[in-house]
Every structure is written in C-alpha cells, then in structure tokens.
A and B are shown apart, each in its own frame.
Chain A
C-alpha cells in the first residue's frame, strides 16, 4: 500500500481475565511462522525461540497460591527502543504501526535484543533444522531465517498482506476481523483480539477503551501497541 497517511494502525488487546495460560497461542505462533526448533539444552541456556511466551508468576504463600499468566510478545512500540540502535536498518517502523524486522538485512549485532525492555527478540543461534516430517508443515508465505539473524513477533504480517491482497482483489476495504494473527485465531477463550486501532468502531478499539486497560512499562515511554486488560481475579484472593 502507499506510503502516505494510512488509516490503519495495528494493535492488539489481551484480556488477562480470560487468559488461562493454556499456551495454545505459543504453539500456533510456532507453527504459523516457521520458527526453528530448539533442543532441551538450548532451552535450558535461555535460547528458546518463542516469539510469544506465556510468563507465569506465582503469587501468595502455600496453600493460597495463585498463578498469574502474562502472554508476552513484541509490543510493536511506537517509540521502539530497538529500532534506532540497529546499524543496518534491519529494524524499522512501518507506516501502519508495525515494528518491522528485515531478515535478510540483519547482520546479527544483537543490539536490538539488548535494548528491548520486554526481551521479546530472539536470535537464531544455529541454522534451523526440522526433522521429517516437520518440514511439511512450513508455511510458504514466510521465509525461513538463517543463523545469525534476529527475529520476533511480526503481528503475522504475512496474514496482513494476504488479507489486504484479497480485499484489493475483491474491490472492498479491509474490514474489522479480516486480519487475525495465528495467536488470536487459536486462543480458545478469545483473550487475544487484533485489529485496527485507528478505526474507533473496531472490536479492538472498543476493548482498548476499557477501564481495565494498562500497558507494560508505560514509564519507559515506549508507547506499545499491545494493550492488556487487568483481571485474573486477583482482587479476590483465596
């Protein structure tokens, strides 16, 4: 689409009251985006390639313990700290509000990963390897990244592009609900909602106006595009 003022600003709302921590979104993201597999010792070292992770925090003392789940993904910050530090412009901000990662430009300095306060960027330490028949499941819409390249959640930009093409072919504007990233599509309780924040009537905009809304690390001034809704019953302990 054109580079002029766009009416699209992609955003996501995650309702923590609905999130059960089941992890289906993590699996869906892995399947959709050709993410490489990591061995057990790699995971133990902290090298997992989860673009989306469920953070679990324990609250309280036994026997009144509660688990608290926070799906953490790239926040697509408006003032992203990862973008200015990339020496080769592999990380940049596209006009629709996405934080883009250009895989074939990345030289692997890993500066962006250091500067991300949410630590959502992952690095390919080895070349990807899918033992058969897992390579059958790779999506042709998205590249496979080589070793030495940074990657992260892209709000399923391949699905955004596909929906835009379909809309153009059918000569209609992009409607609310046309674009659904893998995680939003899969989430059983519909805790993840994705859409156009610039459209005040879209589902995601209406949810974003909830009094329960908050964003992570507001005080850092990163202006994330992912809005969380407070919940999980913590106001009623025990």
Chain B
C-alpha cells in the first residue's frame, strides 16, 4: 500500500486552499475601506473633469493624449498576464502552472476591466460615448470602423468577454467544491454559479477538452488586442510612433508587465493567505525564468528601435529621442534599470529567483519601468512633433494623477473582493496533481505510469 495515499488528505487540502474565503477580519475591512476611499476620490476628480471640462487636465496642443491613454495601454498590457500565462502554460503541459492559474486569470479580467474605463474617461464629451457604438438610429449614422479606436473597442470587448468566460469555466469545478463546503445563502449563491456541476466523468472530459480549446482561442485574441492598441500609435504620422515594430514590441512589453504582476500577486497571496504549502519556491523559480526570457526580448526590441533611429538619424525621429533623453532623462534611466539591467542580471541567479523579497522588488520595479515606458512612448513623440513652432510639453494635473491612482486602487479592490468570495487557487487542479503523483500501480480498471515529480 502506498503511504502517499495515506498522507494525502483531500479535505484538509480543500480547507487550506480556501483559507482566503474565511470570514473577513478587521484588517481586510480596513484594506477594502482604504482602497474604496482612493477609488471614491478618483470618482470625485472625474466628476470635476466631466462638469468643468478637459481643461482641468494637463492636456494641451500638441500633447493631446496624456495619463489616461498611458494608463489605458498599461492596463491592457497588464491584462496579458493571466490569459497568456495561463494559456501558454496549459498548452505546454507545464505542471507547475497549477497553483498560479486562477490568480493570473482573475488578474486578466480585472485589469482589462480597468483598462476599458479609460477610453470613456479621456473623451472630451464623455456623455455621448455611445456614438462609438454601432447601433441603428434614425439618422442612419454609423461609427467609423476604419478608425483604430473602433478596432480598440471591438478588441477590448472581445477580450473582456473572452477572458471572463475563460475564468468562469476554470472556476466551475471549484465553485462546486465551495458550494459543497458552505451552507445557507452561500450554498445557494455558489450553487447557482456552479450550474449544478456534479463532476461526472463526461463532464470532466468535456471540461478538460474545452479548457484546452479556450486556451487555444484566447491566445490569438490576446495577441491581437495588444497589437491593435499598438496600432493606435503606429498607424499615425507622428514621428517616433510610426514604426513597424510597435505591434510585437507592445505584445512583448505586455507579457513582461503581466508576468511580473502575476509574480507580485503570487508573493502577496502566498504571504497573506498562508499558502506556503502550495506555492513552492519551484513555481517562483520557473515563473522568474519566464520573466527573464521576456525581459530579454523586450530589451532586444527596444534596442532595435533606438539603434535604427540613431543610425538613420532622420532629423524629426531623432529629435524625439534626444528630447526624451534631455527632458525625461532620469525616468528614462529608471526604465532601463528596471526593465533591462536589474532583471537580466538578477534573474540569472537561482538564489534571487527563489527569494521572495528579491522577486518582489524586481517585479515591482519592472511594472514601474513599464508604466514609465508607456509614458515615454506617448509624451515625447507628441511633444516634439513635425512642426517646431508648436513644440510643447506635458505635466499631469491632480485630476489625472487622482484618476490614475484610483485605477490601481480599483484593480486591487476588485482583486481583494474576488479573493474573499472566490477560490484564489485552482483547488481541483492542484488536487488533481496530488492524486496523479500516486506511483505506478494498477489503478482502477487499467494501469497508470508513474508521473515523475516535475523537479
């Protein structure tokens, strides 16, 4: 008799993995309150803007896009975390994906939801945002599908719905577990969401095939979404924007940002909900290796961009870079430090990859650097456009900073609420792996090979 069978206790594992869903403590309420307050302040700032005018922002001629569009691109980039990580890891059968999946997928849904707010916030006349929607009307007017902003709208919608479906399907068996472990109104709530899932053999088969199919479908969607956002910039005549490298460059930047954010969140969740048993140093090690790879790719793309511009030295294109180095030199240096120097050197070492503190610092630095990178894409190119007479600059106002910060608070608030009401680890996934490690023996009605421990 295999002693592993005796050690494995499904009930205990369930409860340990569901520890985030225990009744909220004072600390949790305090966190939710603080985050809610920041969101409320952002809402107030937005009201000021909507009633007074866009003049309360730092927008001017020629810099007609500022923090809002920068935030939009940043959050769309971050949304590539979950679905891409989850989908790629699923399809490559990497068994170390299991504890990471749920958190990553939830991150995707919430960051794309936050991203979707910004095109509405940055409109000059927000109250008629519905002009952008294709609906039949008595004027016979339709929106312009040749505009990249309409591609944006369609793509963001597709991605939001697609990733929500992806998250929900993955949640289905776990919702059934939560349903069975709860009572009262909770049982009814989770019972409704679980749609009567019973875990029959047929259901599991369809579930696993369907999840794989969804993973295959969501990857092209994710790539296309960020390429479309990149083309908002690349199809213009603005020097520094009109570059063919933008679409792949943005996709890689998004994956970098996303993987770093997933690692950050995993570190936080592991500490907060005492999930040390399930999120092992091995998982962080492998995610860090992935992060190293994409940081290298990002650096490669950026180098290619600057190098070709420097060599050809077209005056107006080079002007953008030299203005950026002049005026924004310090934050440019922080970006290179955070995205290239620190990760590439640091993540080569196993000790760094397995150290929670080091990883936390590196991943936060990467996301700061990515936000700066978005800023340095949007603002210098617009500041020093084609006509020197109207060259200008841009400083964000308190309204933009408030709303940008509120976006972060909103994301964390949504995530906190999600962790409280839904399983933050993929319970059945993790337990499936435990069961599969039960050695080579006649199993059930057939024989099963031993699954080697992935270390």
State if A and B touch, Cβ cutoff 8 Å: yes
Residues of A within 8 A of B (CB): 42, 45-48, 53, 55-57, 70, 72, 81, 84-89, 105-111, 113-115, 117-119, 121-127, 146-150, 217, 220, 222
Which residues of B from 45 to 67 have beta carbons under 8 Å from A?
52-55, 59-65
B124 touches A113 (CB 8 A): no
A107-B125 in contact given A84-B147, A85-B149, A113-B61 (Cβ < 8 Å): yes
Q: How many residues of B contact A (CB 8 A)?
A: 43
Query: Judging by beta carbons under 8 Å apart, are B61 and A117 in contact?
Result: no
Query: Which chain A positions have C-beta within 8 A of B142?
Result: 89
Known: A107-B128, A108-B124. A88 touches B64 (CB 8 A): no
Highest count of chain A CB atoms <10 Å: which of B54, B63, B150, B238: B54
Residue of B nearest to A217 (CB): B386
Known: A42-B55, A108-B124. A47 touches B61 (CB 8 A): yes
- Chain B residues with CB below 8 A from A114, complex form: 62, 64-65, 236, 238, 382
Asked if B389 and A86 sit within 8 Å, CB to CB, the answer is no
Q: List 20 A-B contacts (CB under 8 A).
A: A47-B61, A84-B144, A84-B146, A86-B147, A87-B144, A87-B150, A88-B143, A105-B141, A107-B132, A108-B124, A109-B123, A109-B149, A117-B237, A118-B386, A123-B54, A123-B64, A126-B55, A127-B53, A147-B54, A217-B386
Contact of A125 with B150 in the complex, beta carbons under 8 Å: no
Is B150 a contact of A119 with CB atoms below 8 Å? no
With contacts A46-B60, A86-B147, A87-B149 taken as known, whether A108 is within 8 angstroms of B131 at the C-beta atoms is: no
Please, what's the 1-or-0 string for B230-244, where 1 marks a CB less than 8 Å from any CB in chain A? 001001111000000
Give A70 to B238 CA distance when docked, in angstroms.
21
B124 near A55 (CB under 8 angstroms)? Answer: no
Within 8 A of A (CB), among B350-405: 382, 385-387, 389-390, 392
**Are the C-beta atoms of A125 and B146 separated by less than 8 Å?**
no
Contacts of B144 in A (CB 8 A): 84, 86-89
Answer whether A46 and B53 are a contact pair too, CB < 8 Å, given A81-B237, A107-B129, A119-B387.
no
A119 touches B386 (CB 8 A): yes
Beta-carbon contact of A119 and B390 below 8 Å: yes
Q: Which residues on the A side are within 8 Å of B60 (C-beta)?
A: 45-47
The answer to whether A110 touches B59, judged by C-beta atoms less than 8 angstroms apart, is: yes
CA distance A222 to B232 in the complex (A): 19
In angstroms, Cα B61 to Cα A47, docked, is 6
Closest B residue to A92 by beta carbon equals B144
A119 touching B59, Cβ below 8 Å: no
A180 to chain B, nearest CB (A): 27
Q: A81-B236, A89-B144, A123-B54 are in contact. Are A148 and B62 (CB under 8 A)?
A: no
Question: Are the CB atoms of A89 and B123 closer together than 8 Å?
Answer: no
Chain A residues with Cβ under 8 A from B122's Cβ? 109-110
Q: Tell me which residues across on chain A come within 8 A of B132, comparing CB atoms.
A: 87-88, 107
A residues near B392, Cβ cutoff 8 Å:
46
**B236: chain A residues within 8 A (beta carbon):** 81, 85, 114-115
Q: Which residues in chain B, 146-165, are within 8 Å of chain A measured between CB atoms?
A: 146-150, 153
Q: Once the chains bind, are B389 and A124 in contact (CB under 8 Å)?
A: no
Q: Which of A57, A110, A121, A220 has the most CB of B within 10 A?
A: A110
Shortest Cβ gap from A126 to chain B (Å):
4
Residues of B within 8 A of A84 (CB): 144, 146-147
CB within 8 Å for A117 and B124 given contacts A110-B64, A125-B55, A126-B53? no
A111–B238 CA distance with the chains assembled, in angstroms: 11
Please give, as numbers and ranges, the residues of chain B lying within 8 Å of A56 by CB-CB distance: 389
Kindly identify which residue among A55, A108, A217 contacts B125, using a CB–CB cutoff of 8 Å. A108
CB of B403 to closest CB in A, whole Å: 16
Question: Complex Cα distance A147/B387, Å?
Answer: 26
Q: Are B131 and A85 closer than 8 Å at their CB atoms?
A: no
- Report the Cα distance A126→B55, complex, angstroms: 6
Tell me which residues across on chain B come within 8 A of A149, comparing CB atoms: 124-125
